[in-house]
Amino acid sequence: MTDAARSAVDVLLVSLGSTAGLRAADAQLVRSLRRAGASIAVASASPPRAARTLALTDLTWALAARAATRSQLQRSEPRAILYSTTTAALLWPRPGAIRFDAAAAANRPGRHGVWQRPLERRRLRQAPLLVPWSGGALDELPAALHTRAHALVVPVAVEPSAQPGAVSTSGPQQREPGRDIAVIAYAANPSKKGIDRVLAAWQAVRREGEELVLAGAEPADLRALGAPCEGGGVRSVGRLDPAEYRALLRRARVFACAPRREDYGIAQLEALADGCQLVTTPAPGPYAALAIARALDARLVGEDLAPALRTALDDPSPDYGVRALGAIAPFGREAVDEVVARELLPRLLG
């Protein structure tokens, strides 16, 4: 296709989309850029076959992102390219800005990142702009790979899924009407999310009539954990569409997680937005919600989830839900739209 036949657009977003969270974050950014007045084209990587190692998985996804970018460049001529994730940028056919929740240097140790890390360093130096989801993601990069002037933090926007109400403030007998689920956990990638530790803590402290709901993974995915994931006050609801999942959050009093590493934590931010108390371990990684959780109620953050779960259920902090909404205000749509319109788009377009 000739240059004249290609359509001119402001930004080409290269969407890796290897997880539901990444796909949702990319779709959200596209909407925000369009609200800022930009014309957008999207190159979506086609999911490759499952691979046996992380190094090979990243290679197949990087190849898919390159193919999608090349295909879209035959149809459109962007003023700027924004690669969503460092993996999408590893084999880029043309340089562009890089958006990421975490770098391979931080979450691909040893043999898991044997080829990704050195190539990633080169791409991060070559990128005209780095767009981390959080300041923590930027802090994990070696200082030699960036300057603050070379980067702009643009969070993933999180909003309440319905008119929010406050969580309970006076104990389990006076909880908010409609909060009939004691605890909910998001179980996608159950090993990384530490669902085995959540289940062990729950079995140690649950009381008759209390239920832990597991969402985001099928029962077959959970059986490998070696912990009971059905019965005994545990119910798995499998993978749900976003609206169904957020409806469950609005019914839950507590969101529990014990990630072995957290690159950002959209699920935790969504839980706070929908009125859940956040019980969590202090996981390594950028983990945007961790500092918020500590500020809201430090009793609910610790290596031992069991007492934190009982504290959240039996002695919830006053006005937790109201304070949580204030704490996540910088992640709201209006706040993110302002960053996109006033800073990101001008810097992308030069």
**pLDDT over 70 percentage in the chain:** 91
Residue appearing with tokens 């994990």:
140
What residue ranges in the chain does DSSP mark as E strands? 7-15, 40-44, 76-84, 97-100, 130-132, 181-186, 212-215, 234-238, 252-257, 277-280
Q: What is the mean pLDDT of residues 137-159?
A: 85
Nearest to 166 by CA among 272, 248, 245, 313: 272
Could you give the 3-state DSSP secondary structure of residue 273? helix
pLDDT of residue 228 exceeding 70, the answer is: no
Q: What is the mean pLDDT of residues 142-161?
A: 84
Phi/psi of residue 37, each to 5°?
100, 5
Mean pLDDT of the chain: 91
Write down the pLDDT at residue 147.
64
Kindly state the tokens that stand for 78: 């962007």
Write down the pLDDT at residue 311.
98
Of residues 259 and 4, more confidently modeled? 259
Q: What is the mean pLDDT of residues 316-341?
A: 96
Task: Give the confidence band of 191 by pLDDT, cuts at 50, 70, 90.
Answer: confident
Kindly state the tokens that stand for 261: 């590493």
**pLDDT over 90 percentage in the chain:** 81
Q: What is the mean pLDDT of residues 258-281?
A: 96
pLDDT of residue 254 exceeding 70, the answer is: yes
Residue appearing with tokens 């014309």:
39
Of residues 228 and 174, more confidently modeled? 228
